[in-house]
Amino acid sequence: MRLKDKVAIVTGSSQGIGEAVAKRLAREGATVAINYSRNDAAAQKVVADIEAAGGKAKAFRANCSNVADISRLVEEVGEVFGRIDILVNNAGTFRTVPVSETTEEIWDEQIDLNLKGTFFAVQSVLPWFRKQGGGKVVNFSSIAGVDAFPNCPAYCASKGGVSLLTKALASELAKENINVNAIAPGNVATPINAHLRGPGNEEYMALMSSRTPTGRAFMDVEDMTGAVAFLSSDDAKGVHGLIMLVDDGWCA
């Protein structure tokens, strides 16, 4: 149990990758703050699952595209658990929209949650990390933040921003024993990309399989959790500013 007695915030953890990560960190011994923005029942189900497995968790509602909500989330988690050791910036949104159809609202939605929310969550936990003498941040970029994709310019911009933001934060905060790194997932089956995997998308799924060395069109959410657990632990003490590809070899 590499994370025994640690407290972790996992944003957007009522479903998908965030849910799997929260459960993995709990199995590693961490007490986990389950963050969600809308679905209280789903968040409470994640908490119940963690507790049933012998772990500790509590749900906290906050919109991570809103700076005031982010500050309140961190304050509440700190008050409830007395410390914050790990921040996993997983909350995000993904829209497949061509350049000509990308509205200001679509642009802002993705930049605000994926990029702005990541930065201000890190800023909000800094006082806790500094008081404790260090901490771990794991951001979520994407293969779309390393290489480009058509029909999602705002998403690519937001995730590319997360990649460079991760390096910028690491270069500034490493001297304070604060590790800032990022995961760059490949295609992972989650609720936010279900519209690409349903009936009628057979040609797209075949293309994804052909582009991936393993032949898998989409990975499972659990495939992301080992990398996050590693970067959240003291095993990654010397790792700063890494964008870790977990992509089934896509970028290779």
Q: Compute the average pLDDT of residues 121-126.
A: 98
- DSSP secondary structure string, 81-96? HS---EEEE-------
- Does the structure show a pLDDT above 90 at 1? no
- Does the structure show a pLDDT above 90 at 148? no
- Does the structure show a pLDDT above 90 at 193? no
The pLDDT of residue 92: 96
The pLDDT of residue 2: 95
The pLDDT of residue 110: 97
What is the pTM assigned to this prediction?
A: 0.95
The percent of residues above 70 in pLDDT, for the chain, comes to 100
Whether the Cβ atoms of residue 22 and residue 46 lie closer than 8 Å to each other: yes
Q: How confident is the model at residue 125 (pLDDT cuts 50, 70, 90)?
A: very high
From the candidates 60, 81, 155, 218, give the one annotated as an active-site residue.
155
| pLDDT mean across residues, the chain | 96
Residue 169: exposure state from Cβ atoms within 10 A (0-12, 13-18, ≥19): buried
Q: Compute the average pLDDT of residues 216-236.
A: 97
- Does the structure show a pLDDT above 90 at 242? yes
The pLDDT of residue 167: 98
Which tens digit of pLDDT belongs to each residue from 17-28? 999 999 999 999
Does the active-site annotation cover 155?
Answer: yes
The percent of residues above 90 in pLDDT, for the chain, comes to 90
Q: Where are the domains of the chain?
A: 7-187+224-245
Quote the CA–CA distance of 204 and 210 in Å, as a whole number: 10
- Does the structure show a pLDDT above 90 at 198? no
Q: How confident is the model at residue 55 (pLDDT cuts 50, 70, 90)?
A: very high
In this structure, whether the domain defined by 7-187+224-245 belongs to CATH 3.40.50.300 is answered with no
- Does the structure show a pLDDT above 90 at 194? no
Which tens digit of pLDDT belongs to each residue from 65-92? 999 999 999 999 999 999 999 999 999 9
